[in-house]
Every structure is written in C-alpha cells, then in structure tokens.
Amino acid sequence: MTQDVLAALAPRGVLRAGINLGNFLLVNGRGPHGDPEGVAPGMARAIAHRLGVPLRCVPYPRPGDVADAVGTDAWDIALIGAEPQRAEHIAFTAAYAEIESTYMVPPGSPITAIDQVDRPGVRIAVTARAAYDLWLERNIRQATLVRAEGLDGAAKLFAEQGLEALAGLRPRLIADAAAMPGARILDGQFTAVQQAVGMARGHDAAARFLADFVEEAKASGLVASLIARHGVQGLSVAGPAERAA
C-alpha cells in the first residue's frame, strides 16, 4: 500500500463505507453504538484495519441509494452488488460473496421452471433497483416487471395484486413462501448477485489495492469466517477472480 492509495481511500483519515441496510444477508444487526453489523460492515472494517484508519459506516436504506451517491463525496468505498449499470461510475472488485436469485410463484401456478417466467402475460414483482432488478431489466424480454420499494413492498405487491411471480434472493423468498401456503420457489437461479467492494472511478492504484484485498479475503477464509460469525444462510463465498491472460 502506498500513500497515494491511502490518500484515495481515506482522504480524511477515516474510511467511509457506504452500506446497504436493505440486504438482510449482509447487514443483520447493530453494534453497541448503533453501527450496522454483518458481513458487509465486517469487510469494510477489515479494509480499514489494513489501511490503519478508523471505519465510519455510512448507511443507506437501499442499494440504489448507495450507488447514486458516487461522486458526491459521501463515501470512500461502497459494498453493494456489482452490476454493469452501476459499474459505469463505480470501479468494482470481483465479488467477495454471491447470493442466488430466483422466483416464487403463487399457489396453483402453472409455472414450474425459471425458463417459463419470461413469457407474455407474466408479471414479475421485484424490488426496485436491487441488483437482481437491474439484471432483469437487461434480460427480460416478454414478461412485465412491476416494481415496488423494498423487499416487503415487493412481497405485498405480489400478494395483493395476484402477480404471476416474485423475484428475489432465495433466503428471503423462503420466508415469503412460508407466509403464503401453497406458494413455490422455483429450482435453480436466474442470476447470482455478486456482492463486491467499489469506489469512484479514476483511482487505479486504490482500485487494484481493493481488488487484491478481496482476493486475499476469499483465499484466507476471512469472508467465510464473517459469514459463519454472523450466522448467515444463503450467502456463499465467491470464487477467485478471473485473471487476464
């Protein structure tokens, strides 16, 4: 680590980490002083420790809000899903963890497989601007996306409007299915949300530092230990980044 890297990541002598409170797999508690706790804050804390500076978490209710704040000097790093739309302005590491995304269908639905969802007349309830919503926006061709604010909002929309599918993270859908007897979660996944560390573009050395740190965190067992420590089910350690030939 060089002074240039430190100056880019912690220009005020503290590492400010943008944290998405809306993902219960990555933030699942509060510390004694109200700071968010979980896998994402744990990763941020480990980066701050490597830099030798204190950590200050900057919480946001939704991942889109974190991404929107890039370039506003509100945070130094962000821990959210890496998506191409966000990557236009944020330099992301490879994923440190990933979460399977799939669909739930209501009782009596004729839909039995993921490839049957993207068809005319199918309405998909989805959390607006979640990483999997951004993926669906790029890839759904025939079905209709119906967006709601927050996970609870999407589940409520799905139930109250009788939509044909609810998109979401598998661990959350398990809880949603328990509240709707007869509902089914489809096997497989339409994507895996890649949870990564990002920073504003334009600081290549600092971005390489973060990329190397994430690879080390996966290989050393740090990410796995954070997942175990916080008792998270449905979050898995991402594989090694692909290296250019």
Q: What is the mean pLDDT of residues 153-158?
A: 97
Predicted pLDDT at 244 = 44
Residues 54, 49: Cα–Cα separation, whole Å? 7
Whether the CB-CB separation of 57 and 78 falls below 8 Å is answered with no
Query: What is the CB neighbour count within 10 angstroms for residue 28?
Result: 16
pLDDT-based confidence at residue 2 (cuts at 50, 70, 90): confident
Count the alpha carbons within 13 Å of 240 in the hemisphere toward its beta carbon. Answer: 6
pLDDT digits (tens, 9 = 90+) for 174-222: 999 999 999 999 999 999 989 999 999 999 999 999 999 999 999 999 9
Structure tokens at 184: 């089914």
pLDDT digits (tens, 9 = 90+) for 63-109: 999 999 999 999 999 999 999 999 999 999 999 999 999 999 999 99
Helix, coil or strand: residue 187: coil
Residue 92 is classified by DSSP as E
Question: What is the average pLDDT value for the chain, to the nearest integer?
Answer: 95
Predicted pLDDT at 233 = 84
Helix, coil or strand: residue 73: coil
Surface-to-core class of residue 142, CB atoms within 10 Å of its CB (0-12 exposed, 13-18 middle, 19+ buried): exposed
pTM to 2 decimal places:
0.82
Residues 121, 77: Cα–Cα separation, whole Å? 41
